[in-house]
Amino acid sequence: MYQTVNLKVISALTLIIVFAVLYLLTRNRADDYAVEIKEYEFKMPFLASLGFYLAEKIPYDFRSDFDRKARVKVAQLFGQKEANTYFEVHVAQKLSIIIALSFFLTVVFLVGETDYSFCFFALAILTLVYVWLDKELDKKIKAKKRDILIDLPELINTTALLINAGLPFSQAMQKTVNDSDPDRPLYKELNCLMAELSAGKPVNQAYEDLAQRCRAPEITRFVSMILQNLNRGNSDLVHILRVLSQEAWEKRKDIAKKQGEEASAKLVFPMVLVFVAVSIIVLAPAIIMMNR
């Protein structure tokens, strides 16, 4: 029995040493992806290099239907041009977390008093984490669309005011984008749009690509109305933009209302805990006195 315990401890220590050596040998693999890792909001970025190393070494091409769906989601988040790069970051994150969790669970199995049923538990945990990391993309897409809809009314309203002041639509849009926060999702996409137009891309194609990247019905409607009325003069365009602005503000109000409801729902559990704690503090002395 004593020898078995010693063997388990030695195996666990060996595993930890192997993980540490592997981490040290691969620590510079992610240097070329520093910007993408920050933009992606990589979980446990100190393990990113290990993830990229494993992605290169394992004999799997990540082209299954499951992986293709993840690639499409990554393209929605970061654009088609950067989709391959950010998908590599996504894969590196999954592999780094899975391998770190695998090492941890293996050490627990070796050191703790567990039987082989723990292996099925560990396998289930790893599977759930692997799927959860892909589901996180859905949350990011939802958050991106929400942020786009929050910024859209201000974009439309400012552009309409500048057009009404005498600026052509293209200059009004350019000024609005230049004066905005470049880190906001909508203005990131618009900066990409302006870069494409400066490079000579046709206006229709550039705006259609914008709608494709955002994948929000409100942006599609905005693009459609702009392209339909772009050559009809400033007065018609200002009227259309004001109508769109009003619709966008209503959508923004709905989002704010929904966020308020979600925040209220999240406060229910903490409030219950506070109530229970206060009840214990108030009632405990009375119960103690009654027992005496």
- Residue for token pair 């506070």: 274
Domain with 14, as residue range(s), is 2-114
For residues 161 and 245, membership in a common domain is answered with yes
List pLDDT tens digits, range 81-107. Answer: 788 888 888 988 988 898 888 888 887
pLDDT one-digit tens code per residue, 102-127 = 888 887 777 776 677 778 888 888 88
233: left (phi over 0), alpha (psi -120 to 50) or beta: left
Is residue 215 within 8 A of residue 76, CB to CB? The reply is yes
In a domain, 67, yes or no: yes
- Residue 285 falls inside a structural domain: no
Same domain, yes or no: 152 and 107? no
Residue type, 243: V
pLDDT band at 235 (very low <50, low <70, confident <90, very high): low
Lowest mean pLDDT among 104-108, 155-159, 264-268: 264-268
User: Same domain for 162 and 258?
Assistant: yes
| One domain, residues 85 and 176 | no
Number of domains composing the chain: 2
Tell the residue number behind the tokens 């602005």, with chain if given.
Answer: 245
Q: What pLDDT is recorded for position 2? A: 45
Say if residue 46's pLDDT is above 50: yes
Q: Does 105 share its domain with 195?
A: no
141 part of a folded domain? no
pTM of the complete model = 0.74
The predicted-structure confidence for 124-148, as pLDDT tens digits, reads as follows 888 898 888 888 888 888 888 888 8
